[in-house]
Structure 1
Amino acid sequence: MERKTFSACTSILVGRQATVDGSTMIARTEDAKTAWPKYFVVHPHQVLQAEPQFVSPDNGFTMTLPKIRGKYTATPEWTDKYGIFEESGINEYGVAMSATESAYANERVLGADPLVEKGIGEEAMVTITLPYIKSARAGVKYLGQLIEKYGASETNGVLFSDQSEVWYLEIATGHYWAAQRIPDNCYAVVANQLAIQNIDFNDPHNFLTAKGLKQFVLNNHLNSSRSNFNFREIFGTQDQSDTVYNTPRVWYGQRYFNPQSKQDPQSQQLPFVRQAERLIYREDLEYLLGSHYQGTVYDPLSRQNTALNHKFRPISLAKTQEAHILQLRPEYPAALSGLHWLALGVTAQSIFVPFYAGITQTPTSYQRGNATYSSDSAYWQFKLLGILVDAHYHLFGDSLAALQKEVRIQLNQNVRQTDQQAQNLSNKKLAEFLTQASLKNAAYVSQKINELTAELITTATALSPLDFKTDENL
């Protein structure tokens, strides 16, 4: 199966006044195939003699890029046969980007402005945008102008953040898009649907759109409302499949942050942005990205096997290739502020490893692996552990959970210590220090993963169906 199938991701965006420490956070699972490794790389700052040409290996989309490319982290595919799919990263200017949240537009709007076959798609989006933007708002405008000029080949949602603002951009049709700034004291959970609701065209501080969006809708008679301009209702889908595949994930996220609210998991009217009942920790995002409806009758891993266990598609599933939380912390310089938390493989069975934005290299194991298992690949190390747990989940699940807790505690301690020691460093010394600290974090996690893997393999030898007791007299 080719990688060109749509990714079925889940995204979370959190404003700075909604978090405990004043961080902005954007996060997402990348869900496409059960065995398709992701790499983690750093692209250095580059100044070229001439403007380079970008040519998509996916659909042939072509554009000229600027001569100056900023340094940025990225999580590309192990092969570019079906596209680059860099997906997520933080650049040297302190801007984070995650792309994309696959979505769908309805037949009416696509009939008026079809998608462009050789337009911009998910696989190219980070590569052609993140190295060239210096704020989240600038990222929205930059990518929006590219969509208007070259067209889009897919309907997608794109996440941007800096230390001050968080933005969600939705590309609906070939050339029309809209973006909303997440209010500082709010969060949003998005799951494979166009999500932005009422747009205020007189409020450019909080809303940005493609040129002529309002007139396009008016000219083509696309808005059924007499008073509002609801982007989701005009451009999106509201069919039965959404209520099984998409809206329950949004419901679960909102249920977690707003437990006092009673909502229907199949409702088509769940709000886009909400204010949580408490301040949000980074660990809350880790929990949600690895969630499978725990605490509800819809949990596929529940010991109570009922027809409801598999009614809804969970956030974490076997097709998750990686999940990331891009955290930008206040007051620190960009290199120290940004933490690219990366969990390779199935999020529920993985561990988020922190990499500072200022790093100059990534672990060798995070740059290895292909479609067949190999022990020198970090992706495959996480996948192997998950497969062992899957085979005997109710026996091995607690061991995995205990390891995840132990490692999270240690990583939090490591980040605190690194932050303190990095305060008086700058430029090259700071980059070297953050790189070594990040490499040590990855090595520590790899060691713990391998230790548990060895333990579970050893234990599993006694779980064979051929290991049975016989009559002692025989």
Structure 2
Amino acid sequence: MPNKLSACTSILIGKKASIDGSIMVGRNEDAKAAWPKHMVIHPHGAVPRKFISKETKLEIDLPDDSARYSATPEWTDKYGLFEEDGINEYGVAMSATESAYSNSLVLGADPLVKNGLNEEAMVTVVLPFVKTAREGALRLGSLIAKYGTGETNGVLFADDNEAWYFETGAGHYWVAQRIPDDCYAVVANQLAIQEIDFNDPENFMFHPGIQEFVEQNHLNPDPTTFNFRKIFGTADRSDAIYSEPRVWIGHQMFSPSQASSETPESTELPFLMKPDRLLSVIDAQNYLSNHYEGTEFDPLTDGPNAHKYRPISLAKTQESHILQTGRKGPSIHWLAMGVANESTYVPFFNGITKLPAPYGRGKLPAQLNSAYWIFKHASVLVDSHLHDFLPLLRDVQKERNSAAQKLIRETDEKVPTLHGDALTNFLNAQSDKFATDTLTAYKNLALELITKMTDYCELNFKTDENL
């Protein structure tokens, strides 16, 4: 799978924009419809001292000590690890990457680097070595400034205090913006960050030479300001069909009073928005599961505009995750394997040291001892007779979502009374039981669907029941 790009959709929510004061960063990893993922928990000190990329052959010397962290690598490392998302033992969350595009004028001045640091390596060389979200953005920026990158990407960071969005705009240049506590952002395969305030280090970070680079190469179409999206990004017809509608629907979901004049093809959609109401983790899940339902653009309808725009949740989603930090209880790595709209977000508590065996498996060809394939199996069965079977899936999802909230409340109540091995064992057991019960629910759903499908065969005829 050479030159894989995660053509994803992302969401970031500040702590004063959330209903429980937590911070959430999440993303759908979209690449291929059948490209398995699995989950791992890397123990403290497990990362080798030297990283060698299988994709670009880049070699990077790494620090001596690496933190424990969760991740969701590919089923094969032939093309690189693509660990994609995780939370480390210091409570730092990272999701990489949201693929984007730089314009030709910029790339003519600072071309992408063939043997640089790309998506497949970013989590591996950054997340185990940082203790804050800010450190994460700075470490990634310094590595890209040194080694270059072969892609244009957005990367999400969070810790217990703040969330940051990081973007590369060319071979070596980058910026990062802190998400204001009372705001959220949704991003869809475009450079998103807009005005940069170079005199506000609390809220902006950037390559130290980016202003000089832009000025010397005459890249800024409006020198009265420094709009990163307009200087480095694109704004063409493909953006209007592929990217902007996904941002638009997020604004319609969370800020309808402010977004009434927006259209799916608006080219000036803001990066940061204040929600009309406080947002929950269910809201974040609903956004990442969205396919324009309730609009004429829903691909599950038959209207003339049903397939006009690229939806958020689609068949090519490998996994969807929400990394929830800043909670009163442990941070949570929410993971939905396969198509988010037809899967369930399973909470894995930060601090666990092991996973249910099916979550550590995922290969080709398909095997039903893997969490990825168990969710995909039920999903494709539902797709075969969507009108009849989708309500059955929704019943399972509703029950599991309610059970997840109950689990989290019980866990948060117990955690303050535990320490050391007792705490670790408790978190392992809580995460394991819910994940296992959810897989059982999807296995049972698949069996029910197969039973119902036995009479759908085209080789059928109304028989005489007296014979």
Q: Same fold (TM over 0.5)?
A: yes
List alignment gaps of at least 5 residues for structure 2.
none
CA distance in 1, matches of 2:412, 2:42: 23
Contact 2:159 2:326 in 1 (8 A): no
Moved more, 413-422 or 235-244: 413-422
Equivalent position of 1:316 in the other structure = 313
CA distance in 2, matches of 1:307, 1:62: 51
| 1:259 CA drift (Å) | 1.7
Equivalent position of 2:38 in the other structure = 39
User: 1:178-257 to 2 correspondence within 5 Å?
Assistant: 178-257=175-254
What code does the residue aligned with 1:188 have? A
Q: Does 1:397 align with 2:396?
A: no
User: 1:349-368 to 2 correspondence within 5 Å?
Assistant: 349-368=342-361
What code does the residue aligned with 1:90 have? I
Which of 32, 43, 54 is equivalent to 2:51?
Answer: 54
3-state SS in 2 of match to 1:456: helix
Q: Does 1:140 align with 2:133?
A: no
Contact 2:8 2:99 in 1 (8 A): yes
What code does the residue aligned with 2:323 have? L
CA distance in 2, matches of 1:369, 1:20: 35
Equivalent position of 1:429 in the other structure = 422
Equivalent position of 2:158 in the other structure = 161
3-state SS in 1 of match to 2:167: strand
Contact 2:328 2:412 in 1 (8 A): no
Contact 1:21 1:329 in 2 (8 A): no
Superimposed CA distance per residue, residues 355-394 of structure 1 (whole angstroms, 9 cap, x where no aligned partner): 0010001111011121211110110000000000000000
CA distance in 1, matches of 2:241, 2:464: 51
Using a 3 Å threshold, how does the CA distance of structure 1 residues 323 and 3 change in structure 2: closer, same or farther?
Answer: farther
Q: Does 1:387 align with 2:384?
A: no
Which of 334, 338, 357 is equivalent to 1:341?
Answer: 334
Contact 2:196 2:228 in 1 (8 A): yes
Contact 1:3 1:32 in 2 (8 A): no
What code does the residue aligned with 1:403 have? V
What code does the residue aligned with 1:307 have? P
| 1:472 CA drift (Å) | 7.9
3-state SS in 1 of match to 2:122: helix
CA distance in 2, matches of 1:29, 1:473: 54
CA distance in 2, matches of 1:250, 1:39: 28
Using a 3 Å threshold, how does the CA distance of structure 1 residues 380 and 68 change in structure 2: closer, same or farther?
Answer: same
Equivalent position of 2:278 in the other structure = 279
CA distance in 2, matches of 1:112, 1:362: 47
What code does the residue aligned with 1:158 have? V
Equivalent position of 1:65 in the other structure = 62
Contact 2:183 2:275 in 1 (8 A): yes
What code does the residue aligned with 1:176 have? Y
CA distance in 2, matches of 1:306, 1:397: 19
| 1:473 CA drift (Å) | 10
3-state SS in 1 of match to 2:54: coil
CA distance in 2, matches of 1:446, 1:99: 26
3-state SS in 1 of match to 2:455: helix
Contact 1:24 1:329 in 2 (8 A): yes
Contact 2:332 2:347 in 1 (8 A): yes
CA distance in 2, matches of 1:109, 1:379: 39
Equivalent position of 1:75 in the other structure = 72
List alignment gaps of at least 5 residues for structure 1.
none
Contact 1:86 1:127 in 2 (8 A): yes
3-state SS in 1 of match to 2:364: coil
Moved more, 259-268 or 11-20: 259-268
Which of 456, 459, 462 is equivalent to 1:466?
Answer: 459
3-state SS in 2 of match to 1:325: strand
Superimposed CA distance per residue, residues 389-445 of structure 1 (whole angstroms, 9 cap, x where no aligned partner): 000000000110111001111111111111111211122221111011101111110
Equivalent position of 1:376 in the other structure = 369
Equivalent position of 1:300 in the other structure = 299
CA distance in 2, matches of 1:289, 1:139: 24
3-state SS in 1 of match to 2:80: coil
What code does the residue aligned with 2:226 have? F
CA distance in 1, matches of 2:466, 2:434: 55
CA distance in 2, matches of 1:118, 1:292: 36
CA distance in 2, matches of 1:446, 1:328: 25
Equivalent position of 1:265 in the other structure = 264
Equivalent position of 1:290 in the other structure = 289
Q: Percent identity?
A: 53
Moved more, 406-415 or 124-133: 406-415
Equivalent position of 1:88 in the other structure = 85
Contact 2:244 2:266 in 1 (8 A): yes
CA distance in 2, matches of 1:446, 1:69: 32
What code does the residue aligned with 1:283 have? I
Which of 74, 94, 98 is equivalent to 2:95?
Answer: 98
Contact 1:3 1:33 in 2 (8 A): no
What code does the residue aligned with 1:151 have? G
3-state SS in 2 of match to 1:216: helix
Q: Does 1:420 align with 2:413?
A: yes
Using a 3 Å threshold, how does the CA distance of structure 1 residues 341 and 472 change in structure 2: closer, same or farther?
Answer: closer
Across the aligned residues of Structure 1 and Structure 2, the Cα RMSD in angstroms comes to 1.3
What code does the residue aligned with 2:28 have? T
Q: Does 1:409 align with 2:408?
A: no
Q: Does 1:121 align with 2:114?
A: no
CA distance in 2, matches of 1:348, 1:29: 11
| 1:5 CA drift (Å) | 2.8
Q: How many residues align?
A: 465
TM-score (ref. length: structure 1):
0.96
TM-score (ref. length: structure 2):
0.98
User: 1:4-19 to 2 correspondence within 5 Å?
Assistant: 4-19=3-18
After the TM superposition, which segments of 4 or more aligned residues of structure 1 sit over 6 Å from their partners?
471-474
What code does the residue aligned with 1:31 have? D
CA distance in 2, matches of 1:328, 1:307: 42
